[in-house]
Amino acid sequence: MPDPHPQRPFNKAALGRLVDVSRAFGPLKAVDAVSVDFFAGEILAIVGENGAGKSTLMNILFGMLAPDSGHVEVAGHKVSFRSSRDAIKAGLGMVHQHFMLFPGLSVLENILVGAEKATRSGLVDYRARRAEVQELMQQFDFSLSLDQPVGKLPVHARQQVEIMKMLFRAARLIILDEPTAVLTPHEKDRLFQMLGRLRDDGRAVVIITHKLDEVMEVSDRVMIMRAGRKIEETPTRATSRDQISRAMIGREIASPPKTDSRKAGIALEVRGVSVARPEGPLALENLSLSLREGEVFGIAGVAGNGQKPLVEALVGLVPLSAGQITLGGVEITSLDVGARRRMGLAYLAEDRMRVGLADAARIYENTIAGREGSRAFSRRGWLRMRAARQSGAEVIRDYDVAASGPMQRVSDLSGGNKQKIIVGRELAAEPSLVIAENPSWGVDVGAMAFIHQRLLAAATRGAAVLLVSSDLEELFALSDRVGVLYDGRMNGIFPRAELDAYRIGAAMAGKIGGAA
């Protein structure tokens, strides 16, 4: 690591600035009179909770949203971008949290789209462009093979493609939205080195994040946002993690206390399970796992290392090519989803809009799903409408969902409230096994604490919880044990006492993990 806080004279003329920018969505002031400067040769961290207005602010800077008032300046001139195209022309670049890539196109083609430098007849000189890209890669020490389709690359390499795109467009002001969310600790270190090189090259770098350790590690200056406002802006070395945290949240959120509620009985037993892909190697290979009643078992791993096949195999959405699954002592390998659910399986799906919820349907229609055929909600195939509506009302009440009633459509609710509907539905049946996939993605801090508390309560009641998460903090806070998936195999299982980000990170990157 280079020295994170080098003494260097800042070039005081800002590369870009936002002046008194505001933007409202309906009654909500997403950004409220925020001003900030972006200096060459500096890494600025913008921190805040979900919904604090960070992304809106950056979308305004990048020309994807017009401000209601205030303006953007680049190199001392007032500009009004009508689209990101204008922003790119003015020397801005942005790596979105959800990468803006074309999976079927090659790395080189991804870099060139929109910046082809075509001849007058429109032809693209791929050979010349390739040479230019290779030169840039050398300069910034990237390693990418330009002819591979991007869809086949691991996540950190895709991020490099995104950064390469900006460098190829000669961006001077570079914005990265939650760049570390998908990386292992080691990949994160490499990214930060790269950002350091960009800074030293005289570019302005902005990272948006809510991970405070990273702010302290990489940034030169930090700006804290809360509820659309700029709360504080300070050189990083003049502040501390706790100070930032207090300014960011503005209130105390008690994280639920974790106690060991493990019981003797085995809830879930997975023996030698493999899942095939349509072609290529197994998606999940000879995986064994055993969860006790009341245990929270965390699954860590870089996305795409077998989490999805594991979850789908347990839920019954994909067939096994080998192995056995038993739930509460009964073999369920050949049972379908409905039968497994009736035996006490609950599933909090990561893709809430399509898998977890029927978005266009009413709340009560969502809360009865999975139990619609049970005696609680039907008799001889006729729906019991009153009971169904009642179940919707109960979830709204017990989970503090901001909704007008069970007849409201789910699509009208916010992300956190949608997730509460799912958690409420799945936990209402008192399941014996809960499979939770990134349960706090994209929800605000309050809802996250609430969901964590409910999951722990389910475990205390005796349910086994399999928690798949890409957020190590979440895994460490809730799990009794954490298993690391790498390349479809279990690469080490760590008991709570041995949880350590760098050891787990090494296991996530495929190095030999621990065992317990």
Partner 1 sequence: MTLFRHRLFWPLALTGAVLVSLVLFPSLWQMVLAFLDGAAGGRGHFNFFSTLSRTSLIGGMALSVFLSFRAGLINIGGEGQLVIGGLVAALVGIYLPGPGVLVGVVSLLAAMLAGGLWALLAGFFERVLSVPLLVGSLLLNYPASFIASYLVSHPLRDVNSGIAQSHRIAHGAYLPRFSGTILDYGVLLMAAFGIAIIVVDRSRVFGYRARMQGISPEFARASGFPVTRMYFQILFGSGAIAGAVGFVAVFGIAHRYVDGMLVIPLYAWTGVVAVLLARVNPLWVLPAAFLFAALQTGAAGLEHSAGIPREMAQVVQGVIILFLAAGGQRFLQNTTGEGA
Partner 2 sequence: MSVFLDPALFQSLPRFFTPILLAALGGSLCQRAGVFNIALEGLMLIGAFAAMAGSYAFQSWETGLLFGAAAGLGGALLFAWFSVWRGGDDIVVSIGLNILALGGSAYLLRAVFGARGSFDSPRIIALPQFGLPGLRDIPVIGGAFAAQSLLVWLALFLVPLLAALLARHSFGLRLRAAGENPVALAAAGVNARVIRTEALVICGLLCGLAGAQLSISNVTLFTEGMSSGRGWIAVVIVLMCNARMWLVLLTAVVFGFIDALGFRIQGLGMPQQFTDALPYLLALGVLALAYRNHRNPAKDQG
The residues of the shown chain that bind partner 2, judged by CB under 8 A, are: 64, 83-85, 88-89, 94, 96, 99-105, 109, 112-116, 118, 122-124, 126, 151, 165, 275-279, 283, 303-305, 308-309, 312, 318-319
Decide which of partner 1, partner 2, none touches 303; Cβ closer than 5 to 8 Å per partner kind: partner 2
Amino acid found at 41: G
Q: Shortest distance, CB of residue 401 to partner 2, whole angstroms? A: 30
Contact flag: residue 124 with partner 1 (CB under 8 A): no
Q: What's the closest the beta carbon of residue 308 comes to partner 2, in angstroms?
A: 6
Quick check: 378 binds partner 1 (CB under 8 A)?
Answer: yes
Is residue 359 involved in binding partner 1 (CB under 8 A)? yes
What residues have CB less than 8 Å from 275, skipping those under 6 apart? 282, 283, 284, 309, 310, 312, 313, 318, 319, 320, 321, 488
Kind and range of the H or E run holding 92? strand 92-95
DSSP string for residues in 168-219: HTT-SEEEEESTTTT--HHHHHHHHHHHHHHHHTT-EEEEEES-HHHHHHH-
Residue 365 near partner 1 by CB under 8 A? yes
The only residue of 12, 120, 251, 354 in contact with partner 1, by rule CB under 8 A = 354
Residue 349 or 363 having the CB closest to partner 2: 349
On whether the CB atoms of residues 275 and 459 are closer than 8 A, the answer is: no
Min dist CB 87 to partner 2, Å, is: 8
Select from 123, 238, 330, 360 the one that contacts partner 1 (CB under 8 A).
Answer: 360
Distances (CA, A) of 458 to 347, 462, 476: 13, 7, 18
Nearest of 131, 132, 129, 192 to residue 156 by alpha carbon: 192
Q: State which of residues 155, 369, 387, 393 lies at the interface with partner 1 (CB under 8 A).
A: 369
Q: Is 350 in the site for partner 1 (CB under 8 A)?
A: no
What are the CA-CA distances from residue 381 to residues 185, 365, 378, 392 (Å)? 52, 16, 6, 20
**Alpha carbons 26 and 32: distance in angstroms, whole number:** 13
Residue 496's Cβ-count burial label (10 Å; 0-12, 13-18, 19+) is middle
Q: In DSSP terms, which residues pair with 348 in a beta bridge?
A: 436
- Binds partner 1 (CB under 8 A): choice among 373, 397, 412, 502: 373
**Residues near 257 by beta carbon (within 8 Å), at least 6 away in sequence:** none
Q: How far is the CB of 91 from partner 2 (least distance, A)?
A: 13
Q: Which is nearer to partner 2, 276 or 501 (CB)?
A: 276
Number of other CB atoms surrounding residue 43 within 10 Å? 25
* Residue 249 to residue 210: CA distance in whole angstroms: 11
Query: Would you count residue 430 as binding partner 1 (CB under 8 A)?
Result: no
# binding residues, partner 1 (CB under 8 A):
32
Q: Which of partner 1, partner 2, none sits in contact with 67, Cβ below 5 to 8 A by type?
A: none
Nearest approach in angstroms of CB 55 to partner 2 is 14
370 forms part of the interface with partner 1 (CB under 8 A): yes
Q: Which residue has the tokens 């075509």?
A: 118
- By beta-carbon proximity to partner 1, the closer residue of 50 and 419 is 419
Does 349 interact with partner 1 (rule: CB under 8 A)? yes
User: In angstroms, what is the minimal distance from the CB of 414 to partner 2?
Assistant: 22
Question: 230 or 352: whose CB is closer to partner 2?
Answer: 352
Helices (H), 71-117: 84-89, 107-112
- Compute the least distance from the CB of residue 284 to partner 1, in Å: 18
- In the complex with partner 1, the residue whose CB is nearer, 9 or 27, is 27
Fill in the DSSP letter of residue 376.
Answer: T
Task: Identify what 340 binds: partner 1, partner 2, none; CB under 5 to 8 Å per kind.
Answer: partner 1
Q: Which residues bind partner 1 (CB under 8 A)?
A: 315-317, 336-342, 347, 349, 351, 354-361, 365, 368-370, 372-373, 378, 381-383, 385
